[in-house]
Amino acid sequence: MCALHFSQRVSEFRPSSIRKMSAISIQQKKLGKTVYELNIGQPDISGIPAFGKYLSELCSQNYYSYSPYIGEATLRENYAKYLNFYFDRTSSPHLTIDSDNVTITVGAVQALCNTFLALCNPGDEILCVEPFFPVYATSIAVSGGVLRTIPTYAEQNFALPEFEELERYINPKTRAILLNNPNNPSGKIFSKDEVMRLVKLSLKYDIFLISDEVYREMYLAGKQPFSVLQADLSREEMDRFIHRLIVIDSASKTFALTGTRLGIVVARPEIIEKISLVTFNTVGSVSDVMQKSLARTYEFATSNTKFFDEMRKVYAERLEVAMNEISNFSSVFVPKPEGAFYLILKFPELEDVTEFALFMLQEFSKNNETVAMTPAADFYLTPGRGKNEIRLALVVDCEKTRKSMGLIKEGYAAYMQKLKTQNHGKIEQKNQLGGKLKIDRFSQL
């Protein structure tokens, strides 16, 4: 068989640990095991009912057409109204958005890909706050761009470095800064002061600031996240900043509609035009009935916030349950998140949690139940970072969340006992071989 050769670009692509764990989870469920899948951010709550109602009405007409490649006018208009309403409902000063500032894509991932394709030449660098959603790396690679990172640390509650430290990461190749607020995987909500440091960095070095705000409505401590659209600047600074500002959004998490694949980019019209051209030359246009249904959903949500209020209540309750259970787990360190629906658990006793995550899925169960978790190394670029961390998504109800935390605790104890037993066997083998067998890092146990 002739060898197949593929592009250098596609060599950057690989399944994330999220999907790898999902594949193993599916195998285990086929064997009859109950698996609480906390490895993937698939909301278990029902999507906003208004969307299904409107979609059904549109589909009953049995007419489907091409859409403008920039997006359906009604969706762009209603999304702009929603976004302005989001800030106005708390009387927060903000940039006013209209339909000319909005384009529609096939999900937030395409919104990111198209943005990087519109901005980057090969070798241009995107500076991203770490940890980050793994798809960022491949989305940047599609454009020929290069990912660089600003490290943050669980022990410091993922706080952003001070301005002078941030400047050290800028170089002549830096094209943009990429922020995810609230953050996946940490659940961190960056403060106004932290966001403004990045705004000032963008202004000082004349680079883009791309803010992924898909978890905007998921604030769990009662206070809305500070958006780049609320930047507190002088008139002269704002006149410059608006030409370097890009916001990414999505219906997936806002309305629990992950399967609809509808993403949004907010920016100045001249930026929107270029990103829309990428959409046209890759997918042509986005589904008309999906867009029209979402347009009416945003219109509904602008006058009725009940869905958001109830969604936040659900995730806040799950977070409290998880944190209460983890408080009795002395072997992990967990900074309490304020947004999204994720937790980072750090296991200081482990060098690499991958084997523990596999052990939980493939070897451990209690009453034939176990938990799927995501090793967090894929959320980092810095070598060695995240290897002793896991990410959990709070996508099961409170009772299952409580049970899952208990299973992780018991599974961890069983895993550590397995390691002790293995290493005891190695010690015995070493003695039999006259001390020639190397003991691994768990020998002290």
If asked whether residues 326 and 379 sit together in one domain, one would say yes
Give the chain's domain count. Answer: 2
pLDDT per position as a tens digit, 124-182: 999 999 999 999 999 999 999 999 999 999 999 999 999 999 999 999 999 999 999 99
* Helices and strands, number each (H, E), in the chain: 14, 12
Q: Look up the domain containing 342 and give its range.
A: 10-45+307-432
Cα separation, 140 vs 114, in Å, equals 10
If asked whether residues 103 and 132 sit together in one domain, one would say yes
Q: And the tokens for 233?
A: 């600047």
DSSP notation for 188-252: ----HHHHHHHHHHHHHHT-EEEEE-TTTT-BSSSSPPPPGGG----HHHHHHHTTSEEEEEEHH
Cα separation, 295 vs 107, in Å, equals 15
| Burial (CB count within 10 angstroms: exposed 0-12, middle 13-18, buried 19+), residue 124 | middle
Q: Are 167 and 203 in contact (CB under 8 A)?
A: no
The domain boundary, picked from 305, 337, 365, lies at 305
Q: And the tokens for 300?
A: 């509904």
If asked whether residues 261 and 405 sit together in one domain, one would say no
pLDDT per position as a tens digit, 196-237: 999 999 999 999 999 999 999 999 998 899 999 999 999 999
The domain boundary, picked from 305, 332, 351, lies at 305
- Name the pTM for this structure: 0.92
If asked whether residues 294 and 336 sit together in one domain, one would say no
Place of tokens 């409505």: 217
- What CATH number has the domain bearing residue 380? 3.90.1150.10
If asked whether residues 80 and 229 sit together in one domain, one would say yes
List alpha helices for 350-390, DSSP H. Answer: 354-362
Mean pLDDT score of the chain: 93
Q: Tell me the pLDDT band of 292, cut-offs 50, 70 and 90.
A: very high
If asked whether residues 40 and 85 sit together in one domain, one would say no
pLDDT per position as a tens digit, 430-443: 455 555 434 333 33
Q: Tell me the pLDDT band of 445, cut-offs 50, 70 and 90.
A: very low
Is a pLDDT exceeding 90 seen at residue 46? yes
